[in-house]
């Protein structure tokens, strides 16, 4: 082997080793974000003023977190105890209304690292909806190009006509593009307004599951970055990654996430390359991103999860809600 080739190989190996080294989390700032039960409070519900007093502020661009960051525990408690916005009382009975989560972020020359820690709730209420996974944690990341993600994070993908939501269409699986859009017998999966020709926020049925834009329009939106990237840790199956635009599109992603529960404390860490690509946002200093995350605990599934409000993410940006520091 030539010396130049050997040197290149060694440089690559050293770069890979450096990128693989985990951050020193003791030196990384911690931010506590409360995730909470949300019941059937879809994006359409939040934008309908008779239902949600904050709708006017949202339409002016005010973020959900600016009003509700400190109210999350109270909202979650009302949903699991008084069943406000929760028609399926048996599913949430005995569950924690909210979970405080410690979030940390760091990066190096190659990767972004996000770590989430929370105490297991120990809830015994509700049925096991996902037998394989006791816990799932999903993150959605946007590049400030998805309209409602700037206001409410992953709420931009939550609609009143999705699986397990009030206005789901019982005949959705008969749609001509059902297989392509992963529409099953129990209804559609997540999607964004950017992929629909219209979205009903007032009259029933709310949403726009069947008003899909053309393939060329969706391809253009994907190329332009008008999508939410999604990562998912699963305690009993491989992690997954992908994006949400016209549907939730995920595939297995070995090495994306690790998780463990020790002494009642869950720790989940995502390692994601900074480089972008199709359905992957490029992450760089000097830019702002919106981020939301959700936890399915105690074998829960579908909308029966604890969800965060939307927050900002930056690299070495003290003004961001979650600031990733370089190591």
Residue range of the domain that includes 234: 31-326
- The number of folded domains in the chain is 1
- Residues 129-141 have pLDDT tens digits of 999 999 999 999 9
Q: Residue 19's pLDDT band (boundaries 50, 70, 90)?
A: very low
Q: Is residue 21 part of a domain?
A: no
Q: Is residue 215 part of a domain?
A: yes
Give yes or no for residue 323 having a pLDDT over 90.
Answer: yes
Enter the pTM of the model.
0.92
Q: Is residue 281 part of a domain?
A: yes
Is residue 22 included in any domain, yes or no?
Answer: no
Closest CA to 39 of 82, 5, 1, 86: 86
Q: For the segment 275-303, what is each residue's pLDDT rounded down to a tens digit? A: 999 999 999 998 999 999 999 999 999 99
Residue 266 resides in a domain: yes
> Over the chain, what HEC string results?
CCHHHHHHHHHHHHHHHHHHCCCCHHHCCCEEEEEEECCCCCHHHHCCCCCCCCHHHHHCCCCHHHHHCCCHHHHHHHHHHHCCCCCCHHHHCCCCCEEEEEEEEEECCCEEEEEEEEECCCCCCCCCCCCCCCCEEEEEEECCCCCCHHHHHHHHHCCCCCCCCCCCCCCHHHCCCCCCCCCECCECCCCCHHHECCCECCCCCCECCCCECCHHHHHHHHHCCCCEEEEEEECCCCCEEEEECCCEEEEECCCCEEEEEECCEEEEEEEEECCCECCECCCCCCCCEEEEEEEECCCCCCCCCEECCCEEEEECCCCCCEEEEEC
Binned at pLDDT 50, 70 and 90, residue 20 comes out as low
- Would 3 be classed as within a structural domain? no
Q: Which residues contact 129 (CB under 8 A, 6 or more apart)?
A: 91, 299, 300, 301, 302, 304
| Domain contains 4 | no
Mean pLDDT of the chain: 92
Distance CA 114, CA 103 (A): 7
Share of the chain above pLDDT 70, in %: 93
Per the domain annotation, does 16 fall within a domain?
no
pLDDT at residue 125, rounded to an integer: 66
How would residue 126 be classed by pLDDT, with cut points 50, 70 and 90? low
Summarize the confidence of residues 81-90 as an average pLDDT: 93
CA distances 148 to 157, 226, 305, Å, are 9, 11, 20
> Average of pLDDT values for 8-23?
52
Cβ-contact 143, 225 below 8 angstroms: yes
Q: For residues 291 and 280, is the Cβ–Cβ distance under 8 A?
A: no
């Amino acid at each position: 082997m030539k010396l130049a080739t050997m040197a290149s190989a060694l440089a690559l190996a050293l770069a890979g080793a450096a990128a693989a080294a985990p951050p020193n989390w003791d030196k990384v700032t911690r931010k506590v974000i409360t995730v909470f039960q949300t019941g059937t409070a879809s994006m359409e519900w939040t934008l309908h003023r008779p239902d949600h007093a904050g709708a006017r502020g949202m339409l002016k661009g005010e973020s959900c977190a600016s009003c509700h960051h400190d109210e999350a525990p109270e909202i979650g408690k009302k949903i699991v105890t008084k069943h406000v916005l929760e028609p399926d009382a048996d599913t949430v009975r005995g569950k924690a209304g909210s979970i405080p989560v410690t979030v940390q972020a760091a990066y190096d020359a190659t990767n972004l690292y996000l770590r989430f820690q929370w105490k297991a709730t120990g809830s015994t209420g509700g049925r096991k909806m996902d037998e394989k996974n006791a816990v799932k944690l999903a993150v959605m990341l946007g590049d400030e190009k998805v309209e409602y993600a700037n206001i409410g994070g992953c709420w931009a993908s939550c609609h009143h006509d999705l699986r397990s939501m009030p206005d789901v269409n019982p005949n959705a699986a008969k749609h001509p593009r059902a297989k392509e859009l992963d529409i099953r017998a129990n209804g559609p999966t997540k999607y964004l307004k950017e992929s629909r020709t219209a979205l009903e926020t007032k009259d029933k049925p709310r949403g726009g599951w069947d008003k899909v834009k053309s393939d060329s329009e969706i391809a253009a939106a994907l190329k332009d970055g008008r999508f939410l990237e999604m990562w998912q840790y699963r305690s009993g199956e491989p992690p997954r990654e992908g994006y949400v635009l016209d549907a939730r599109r995920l595939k297995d992603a070995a090495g994306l996430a690790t998780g463990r529960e020790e002494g009642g404390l869950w720790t989940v860490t995502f390692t994601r390359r900074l480089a972008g690509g199709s359905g992957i946002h490029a992450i760089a200093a000097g830019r702002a991103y919106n981020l939301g995350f959700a936890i399915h605990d105690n074998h829960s599934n579908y909308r029966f999860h604890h969800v965060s409000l939307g927050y900002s993410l930056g690299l070495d940006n003290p003004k961001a809600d979650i600031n990733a520091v370089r190591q």
